[in-house]
Amino acid sequence: MSNQHTSSLRVPLVGEERTLGQLTGEICAPMERKPTGKWWVAFALAVATLAVGVGMVSYEVATGIGVWGLNKTIGWAFDITNFVFWVGIGHAGTLISAILFLFRQKWRTSINRAAEAMTLFAVMCAAIFPVIHMGRPWNAFWVLPYPNDRGSLWVNFRSPLLWDVFAISTYFTISAVFWYFGLIPDLATVRDRAKGLKKAIFKALSFGWNGSSRTWHRYETVYLLLAGLATPLVLSVHTIVSFDFATSVIPGWHTTIFPPYFVAGAVFSGFAMVLTLMIITRTVLGFEHLITIRHLENMTKVIIVTGGIVSLAYGTEFFIAWYSGNPYEKFTFMNRAFGPYAWAYWTMVTCNVVSPHLFWFKKVRTSPAAIFVLSLVINVGMWFERFVIIVTSLHRDFLPSSWSMYTPTVVEVGTFVGTFGLFFTLFLLFTRVLPIISIGEVKSVAAFARGTHAPAHASHPAHGPETPHEHPAEAPEPLPTPALAAVAVRKDMPV
Amino acid sequence: MSPSQSVLLSYFDSEEHVLDATRAVREAGYAVHDVYTPYAIHGMDEAMGLKSSRLTWVCFGAGLLGTTSALALQYYTSVVSWPLNVGGKPFNSFPAFIPVAFELTVLFAGLITVAAFLLRTKTFPGSKREALPRVTDDRFVLALRADESDAKLRQMLERHGALEVEQMEVAS
């Protein structure tokens, strides 16, 4: 059975060899020690940024959405750009945890937990925008279909905006369940190490998990089912978001290429964001042997592919605008590239079409610093993509007398910056209170690094970069018998 | 079902050992109570002789329920309760109902399957159940429904790498 892990052709998934106990200890360490100075600095910055956002949203809600730079021509701009941007960021999390799981890509194990958390936080950030865009967020529940006292008035199920409501709320719920479900065994691990109040909290959170194989067996089944459900969900969410545009009649929006193009773009930007976060996390927490260069490299390869799809989509859009013979369509695209927002268009092209190609070089692909910079560049580019699609399509519509320009106000920029504060605040808290690497799953692939139990390590030439082992695999320590004896007399232990 | 039953716990330090031991004791005709492991071991279901879970059927049924509910809700609101003429489109504009139907299918299937899992495995917030020492960390425990007196069994377990074998009374 276990020989499948140890082909000499396979590169180990986690670096240096570790015993199972060492893995548990290392992954739990950030939760058990006091936060470092660096963490406090980052947290203070994130909370300060979040405060800016809270201030801006409060001001906007108190005053009305007139404080935004929108006008009669451009009725959607910064808020919807940010909404689509953040929803897109979230997609990589589910992609890593669900699609890579279905494809049996075991390299996902070190990054899936953090990526799923990222999804949740990104969707929270995204949800803020449509809600405040309503102008009266306290009436947000009107988007739900419920029997009400306003006659038999229902929501309009034929509107893509309502589809969004269902898509985003389902996406958030299923992502949260998927994430928590994956956490249960790890919460039990933390519970068994903790003491006092922390133990009580984790005891409640871990649902009485006891590592039974009968439970594991069902757990694996349900995990697979959830992955199978989440996979089409990822594709559907951004497809439905793209319907907001594609079902309209605005040139530049009304295109059938939008659904796949939006999904590819979402994965593209999401992977860039995962890379940004993972590079910071592995450095700050010292998880270089768990989130290895190989993980980073694999993600950059996904970026090359999705970047390629996005570039192809840009080209196809332009070609069809000309080939369709529709003068409005053609004008919109010429205006995008050479009109007043050409700077935004060319920023997008530089960041999204040109920069991913640097990843063809192995030197770039394996340098965390280079990947970090490029991942930021790609995120900027993807934000501009949404801005270009939304603003340039609207600002010169069918009627030249209503042509207009759009500039975001301080309130809009502040709100957007504030969502980054929210995102990083939540992520930093997450690194403190929960295991950010899936302990159970990493252990199951640790055999890749360990080889067999025999000292076969030296005989495996393909063991990747040979590193000096700080923690050589030890001989199994004897089990503390008194502990077992104490349990053995307990009759209430429903084993 | 007796109020308490006797199980023989044997501790192992690796996936391979516990798998081998489980296979061996089952072949020798002993009843495996359960195996406790820090992570899911592939092949353990086979070694223990577990049947595939029926939760997949729960998931299928829940998904079907989701689709039906979504279509029924949309049909009722848009055709029966408040038919609204938008640009002369049919009230029952089925293609427009697909996105919401899909989302609710996934939502129902996901939530109900997880709920069914929690019910079936008796895991819930506030459960008093505890894990054996180090099982959630780095030890693997094979629990057999067997008597202490069986020296042959102990020998067999030790031959397969059991670090420690202990008899234990558990509530059943």
Q: What is the separation, in whole angstroms, between the first and last Cα of chain A?
A: 27
Report percent pLDDT > 90 for chain A. 31
Residues 6+ apart with CB under 8 A from B101: B66, B67, B70, B71, B74
Beta pairing partners, B6: B169
In this predicted structure, the answer to whether residue A449 has a pLDDT above a threshold of 80 is no
What confidence tier does A4 reach under pLDDT thresholds 50, 70, 90?
Answer: very low
Is the pLDDT at B51 greater than 80? The verdict is yes
| Cβ-nearest to B106 among A170, A440, A485 | A170
Fill in the DSSP letter of residue B131: P
Average the pLDDT over A391-402 and give the result: 89
- A398: number of Cβ within 10 Å: 10
> Residues of B with CB below 8 A from A493's CB?
130, 132, 168, 170-171
CB contact under 8 A, B11 and A483: no
Average pLDDT over residues A345-356: 92
For the ranges A393-397, A457-461, B16-20, B61-65, the lowest mean pLDDT is seen at A457-461
Q: Is the pLDDT of residue A77 over 50?
A: yes
Cβ contacts of B164 on chain A, cutoff 8 Å: 478-479, 481, 484
Interface check for A208 against chain B (CB to CB < 8 A): the answer is yes
Chain A: nearest CA to B142, how far in angstroms? 10
Which pLDDT band, with edges at 50, 70 and 90, does A9 fall under?
low
Closest C-alpha to A111, from A306, A281, A304:
A281
Nearest to A86 by CA among A379, A328, A461, A293: A379
Interatomic CA distance for residues A266 and A269, integer angstroms: 5
In 3D space, the residue among A241, A271, A272 whose CA is nearest the CA of residue A258 turns out to be A241
Selection from A28-32, A44-48, A74-78 with the highest mean pLDDT? A44-48
Rounded distance between C-alpha atoms, residue A218 and residue A181, angstroms = 12
What is the pLDDT confidence band of residue A156, given thresholds at 50, 70 and 90? confident
Strands B140-144, B32-36: parallel, antiparallel or unpaired by DSSP?
antiparallel
- In the predicted structure, residue A164 carries a pLDDT above the cut 60: yes
Contact A270, A91 (CB under 8 A): yes
B112 to chain A, any CB pair closer than 8 A? The answer is no
Which of B103, B122, B141, B172 best tests the A interface by mutation, with the highest count of A CBs <10 A?
Answer: B103
**What is the b/e burial string over A229-241, where b = at least 16 CB atoms within 10 angstroms of the residue's CB?**
bbbebbbbbbbbb
Interface membership of A150 toward B (CB under 8 Å): no
Cα-Cα-Cα-Cα torsion A21, A25, A26, A28, nearest 10 degrees, comes to 130
Please give, rounded to a whole number of angstroms, the shortest distance from the CA of B61 to a CA of chain A: 13
CB neighbours of B87 closer than 8 A, spacing ≥ 6? Answer: none
Q: Which of A464, A439, A368, A366 minimizes the C-alpha distance to A110? A: A439
Stronger pLDDT, B32 or A423, i.e. the higher one: A423
| Secondary structure, 3-state, chain A | CHHHHHCCCCCCCCCCCCCHHHHHHHHHHHHHCCCCHHHHHHHHHHHHHHHHHHHHHHHHHHHCHHHCCCCCCCCCCHHHHHHHHHHHHHHHHHHHHHHHHHCCCHHHHHCHHHHHHHHHHHHHHHHHHHHHHCCCHHHHHHHCCCCCCCCCCCCCCCCHHHHHHHHHHHHHHHHHHHHHHHHHHHHHHHHHHCCHHHHHHHHHHCCCCCCEHHHHHHHHHHHHHHHHHHHHHHHHHHHHHHHHHHCCCCCCCCCCCHHHHHHHHHHHHHHHHHHHHHHHHHHHHCCCCCCCHHHHHHHHHHHHHHHHHHHHHHHHHHHHHHHCCCHHHHHHHHHHHHCCCHHHHHHHHHHHHHHHHHHHCHHHHCCHHHHHHHHHHHHHHHHHHHHHHHHHHHHCCCCHHHCCCCCCCHHHHHHHHHHHHHHHHHHHHHHHHCCCCCHHHHHHHHHHHHCCCCCHHHHCCCCCCCCCCCCCCCCCCCCCHHHHHHHHCCCCCCC
Per-residue pLDDT of B67-86, as tens digits, reads 999 999 999 988 888 888 87
Residue A142 near chain B (CB below 8 Å) = no
**Angle, in degrees to the nearest 10, between helices A160-193 and A439-450:** 70
**What DSSP state is assigned to residue B32?**
E
ipTM comes to 0.90
What pLDDT score does A27 carry? 81
How confident is the model at residue A83, as a pLDDT?
92
pLDDT at residue B89 is higher than 60: yes
pLDDT score at B163:
81
Terminal alpha carbon distance of chain B: 7
User: What average pLDDT does the structure give for chain A?
Assistant: 83
Q: How many CB atoms lie within 10 A of CB A88?
A: 29
Asked if B77 and A157 come within 8 Å (Cβ–Cβ), the reply is yes
Per-residue tokens: B145: 């429904």
- pLDDT tier for residue A10 given thresholds of 50, 70 and 90: low
User: pTM surpassing 0.95?
Assistant: no
Give B 11-50 residues with CB within 8 A of chain A. 11, 13-16, 19, 33-45, 48, 50
CB B4 within 8 A of CB B165: no
Query: What pLDDT does residue A106 have?
Result: 75
Over residues A218-276, the pLDDT tens digits come to: 998 999 899 899 889 988 998 999 998 998 888 888 888 999 999 999 889 988 998 88
The mean pLDDT of A134-148, rounded to a whole number, is 87
A218 to chain B: closest CA residue = B53
| Candidates A216, A223, A239, partner chain B, best to mutate (most B CBs within 10 A) | A216
